């Protein structure tokens, strides 16, 4: 039943589009190009995706650079909202957590969003509310929450 309804709606839509093109070719051509431009803009906004990382934690005096925690992933805009899609890794398996602090920015300043932690690997995707115009994060590693933090990374 659903297939028949979709087929009828599609046929009616195609017939109306064909009648409109036959009636006013110049007007429909400009409308079609405007519609194509709008669709391209919508598609580029929907697919706004930028990769980042890896960003590493700082390292203590006893650790090698290869033992640091890191985060990598993608950020962008989808539907007018920012999103952050990331993977957090702990490479040395020393039973100290890898940490990721995430903050967002809106008209009233910076606000804490969430703190993530893992012993091995963690993946998350965050969608920020409308009105958010940026975010930042930092990566850390240690047995306490303020140990070996990286600098801030902003988008």
pLDDT tens digits along 19-52: 544 444 444 444 445 555 555 455 545 557 899 9
12, 28, 45: which is the final residue of a domain?
Answer: 45
Same domain, 114 and 67: yes
Q: Domain count of the chain? A: 2
Same domain, 103 and 31: no
> Buried b / exposed e across 64-75, counting CB within 10 Å, b at 16+?
eeebbbbbebbb
- The residue range of the domain holding 11 is 2-45
Same domain, 52 and 26: no
Same domain, 37 and 64: no
pLDDT tier at 15, thresholds 50, 70, 90:
low
Pick from 95, 113, 101, 110: nearest CA to 57:
101
Overall size of the chain counted in residues: 155
Distance CA 43, CA 37 (A): 10
- Residues 82, 75: contact at Cβ < 8 Å? yes
Same domain, 39 and 68: no
> For the domain that residue 96 is a member of, what is the CATH number?
2.60.40
pLDDT tier at 7, thresholds 50, 70, 90:
very low
Same domain, 87 and 114: yes
Same domain, 120 and 132: yes
Same domain, 58 and 76: yes
Same domain, 147 and 81: yes
Same domain, 23 and 58: no
Same domain, 25 and 89: no
* pLDDT > 90? residue 102: yes
Same domain, 64 and 139: yes
């Amino acid at each position: 039943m659903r297939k028949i309804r979709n087929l009828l709606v599609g046929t009616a839509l195609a017939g109306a589009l064909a009648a409109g093109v036959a009636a006013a070719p110049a007007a429909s051509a400009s409308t079609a190009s405007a519609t194509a431009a709008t669709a391209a803009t919508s598609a580029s906004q929907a697919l706004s995706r930028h990769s980042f990382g890896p960003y590493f934690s700082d390292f203590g005096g006893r650790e090698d650079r290869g033992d640091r925690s890191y985060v990598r992933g993608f950020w962008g805009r989808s539907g007018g909202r920012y999103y952050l899609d990331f993977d957090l890794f702990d490479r040395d398996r020393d039973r100290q957590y890898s940490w990721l602090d995430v903050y967002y920015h809106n008209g009233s300043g910076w606000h804490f969003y969430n703190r993530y932690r893992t012993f091995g690997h963690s993946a998350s995707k965050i969608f920020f509310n409308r009105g958010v115009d940026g975010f930042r994060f930092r990566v850390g590693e240690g047995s306490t929450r303020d140990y070996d933090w990286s600098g801030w990374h902003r988008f």
